[in-house]
Structure 1
């Protein structure tokens, strides 16, 4: 299984080996003009670990760049290869973690079924077009790194739950700290840990009488304190988490969040036409289009689907959707964020594993309960996977250089502005 996953990753992302730096966007300040990348001195390392660089905190990512430059020089192909390698490692971690989860949910399942769940979930995670932005754009390497350390922390946490050996919990804490140093979004890890506590039945004996003395909660205290410290550090340095001057009232931000949540699911199922830039539908002070309220209904339908599976005891579905939601929480704009986009493909990177697991479970249910339609269903599945691979291949090629990505953004801007190469909306783009 592992060699197949590696091979598929290399095939669908093969154009990335020929892509250049994104000189018009973040690659310039984050990599080419980053002093830490070119001079690994104590002063620069200390500064990057204690300050935000261009209003972002990713010192581990900068050190990652420094190591590449030190070993191989400033070559775009090497950076793209390193990013793809991390993506492959993340794919393997997803494969291993899903196998552990399925073994927990379906203990009597044959080994072939456990491997199949792990393989197809990891395959979707590996080759889905929504992953291209994180893999093919060098500046998005911090997403790959934070996901790697988050997945490593979860793997170690599973080992801790099974063995109760304290060193595994220490490993989780180290991975958490390094993950936050890769990207602030890693701060959400404690919620993921509690989700795994739920999965492995660690909340069953928890009552109001033993809440304060429960091991499952006491061991989370250091992680929650770390999260609080990370948040405080981010707020003091960059006002992350408290940004009242965003222009949109709470009810609009809430609707934006529901819109993004549903749109991510739609793009996951049908990634036919993707863009590099998804602007807000309105300017601050304007009224929301009426159809945006329909997203509340769609979220209600999705919520009912999850609740129905919870009542039926289908924990795999509940876990998948909760993992999907938890790792999207910080980028749904319910909490104000200084970002000019309402959604972005890269925000889906880690969450992809959760929604992919739900889909694989649903496909397994259909194939098991509709034996007469097994052949057509398999044909549809094969076609969908083939479409994902082809779409990812060409989507990766679209990241060749700044001009190719700029053309994709301009395509989204209103037709009356398409002819303006210096459109102000385009100039406001600041990718993470």
Structure 2
């Protein structure tokens, strides 16, 4: 028991002994510090907070009739009754106080970070068993901290209207945690809890519909398909367990389709080959924003309107995506499966927003779409780092760890600055204006842009 409740790791030749509560406390304190500007931030009056919260009639009526209406109707083309009830609860307790809403968002994000720590322990201990218990705990701490303070999370945490993201993240992570308990003891109650969390997750945001794919990924990673013959596949326990989840997914899809007829599809005018290029572009962009989030923006528009030709340089993202894929596969082939599993987790939780399915959104990428996918890239980074650490001389290890510390400090500073950019509508608008000006400068100075324009 003492082994399970302690964390012992070496950094710069010093050893620190921490229990799990202290680890989660450190994550919470650091996250509170880097997100501290959010407590003085206001509502985004021009970016959804008005119709989502301040003027949403469903948020200001706690009658049973209205609460039931939450769960049977869409509001402004979106289905998120749990999110509306979340707003209603805050309003009942604190009124329309921006600080209360921002504090609640941050608290839920911290709970999610704790769940990430617990889930990461299971993944890392399975795929890096030779690292030892102390380093496994250290890697799980790293993943939880990275999830908690990464700048790409700011949009989901500091924007009140994006609370759907952190709520669906909460129920999805809880469902994954419960599913691990089911795998561990095979008690049906944990499968029921997983399915219940799935329903609440979908009622927070439609993106939660992807949970069955996450469960299948866990089954694959834990070898639950091993030994099943094709003739027995459909009758196997691992498949029968998922029938209820896929039936729920089909019901969710039908419900969404039936209530979204007439919704304008932003990408309807883009041919499939352009949307495929958009998918590779988005994938590569998200990877690079994870590694080097030097400057993030609230609004990332499409490079052209439907009917126009695709800018030539976008085709280069196909090559970059192939390079990334080759890197991931080589690690898997060389006995480092956590890189592949982490990358698949990253992809699974992005699949709905990679443009293969047309999106009713005016943006090609958005930071909030990466909320859960950050976890997968963190696991892949750990797998790559572990293989690198074992190949370097021990005297260089502290230099590598110091570099990692500097990177984490950079992320924390960027998150703090990015959170301040969400202070109010004018601050957010200035962020969008800066992006537009940068794109205009690129078009005027970049020969490639000029060549495309003349063509």
TM over 0.5: yes
Q: Does 1:96 align with 2:118?
A: yes
Compute the displacement of 1:20 (Å): 0.6
Give the Cα separation in 1 of the matches to 2:95 and 2:70. Answer: 21
**2:236 aligned residue (214, 239, 245):** 214
Compute the displacement of 1:309 (Å): 2.2
Q: How does 1:380-395 map to 2 (within 5 A)?
A: 380-395=403-418
Give the Cα separation in 1 of the matches to 2:385 and 2:213. Answer: 28
**2:258 aligned residue (224, 236, 241):** 236
User: Which residue in the other structure is 1:185 paired with?
Assistant: 207
Give the TM-score of the pair, scaled to structure 1.
0.94
Count of paired positions: 418
Q: Secondary structure at the match of 1:298?
A: helix
User: Which residue in the other structure is 1:347 paired with?
Assistant: 369
**1:374 aligned residue (397, 403, 408):** 397
Are the equivalent residues in 2 in contact too, given 1:242–1:336 (CA < 8 A)?
A: no
Compute the displacement of 1:30 (Å): 0.6
Compute the displacement of 1:199 (Å): 1.3
Give the Cα separation in 2 of the matches to 1:123 and 1:106. Answer: 19
User: Which residue in the other structure is 1:427 paired with?
Assistant: none
Deviations, residues 186-230 of structure 1 (Å, cap 9, x unaligned): 000000000000111101022211012100001100100100110
Give the Cα separation in 2 of the matches to 1:242 and 1:102. Answer: 43
User: Which residue in the other structure is 2:169 paired with?
Assistant: 147
Deviations, residues 136-194 of structure 1 (Å, cap 9, x unaligned): 00111110000000000000000001100000000000000000000000000000000
User: Which residue in the other structure is 2:424 paired with?
Assistant: 401
Give the Cα separation in 2 of the matches to 1:307 and 1:127. Answer: 29
Q: Secondary structure at the match of 2:308?
A: coil
Give the Cα separation in 2 of the matches to 1:145 and 1:21. Answer: 19
Q: Secondary structure at the match of 1:342?
A: strand
User: Which residue in the other structure is 2:320 paired with?
Assistant: 298
User: Which residue in the other structure is 1:71 paired with?
Assistant: 93
User: Which residue in the other structure is 1:121 paired with?
Assistant: 143
User: Which residue in the other structure is 1:317 paired with?
Assistant: 339
Q: Which runs of 4+ in 1 moved over 6 A?
A: 415-418
Deviations, residues 261-288 of structure 1 (Å, cap 9, x unaligned): 0000011110001111000011100111
**2:185 aligned residue (163, 185, 200):** 163
Are the equivalent residues in 2 in contact too, given 1:241–1:335 (CA < 8 A)?
A: no
Give the Cα separation in 2 of the matches to 1:63 and 1:127. Answer: 27
Answer with 392-401 or 232-241: which moved more: 232-241
Answer with 343-352 or 292-301: which moved more: 292-301
**1:43 aligned residue (65, 80, 86):** 65
Give the Cα separation in 1 of the matches to 2:290 and 2:234. Answer: 41
Compute the displacement of 1:312 (Å): 2.4
Are the equivalent residues in 2 in contact too, given 1:235–1:242 (CA < 8 A)?
A: no
Give the Cα separation in 2 of the matches to 1:416 and 1:274. Answer: 14
User: Which residue in the other structure is 2:102 paired with?
Assistant: 80
User: Which residue in the other structure is 2:28 paired with?
Assistant: 6
User: Which residue in the other structure is 2:269 paired with?
Assistant: 247
**2:157 aligned residue (135, 142, 154):** 135
Are the equivalent residues in 1 in contact too, given 2:342–2:379 (CA < 8 A)?
A: yes
Structure 2 CA distance for partners of 1:184 and 1:284, relative to 1, 3 Å: same
Compute the displacement of 1:18 (Å): 0.6
Deviations, residues 41-91 of structure 1 (Å, cap 9, x unaligned): 222222221121011111000001111111122111111000000000010
Give the Cα separation in 2 of the matches to 1:77 and 1:244. Answer: 34
User: Which residue in the other structure is 2:248 paired with?
Assistant: 226
Aligned-residue RMSD, C-alpha = 1.8
Task: Could you tell me which runs of 5 or more consecutive residues in structure 2 were left unpaired when the two chains were aligned.
Answer: 1-22, 442-455
Give the TM-score of the pair, scaled to structure 2.
0.89
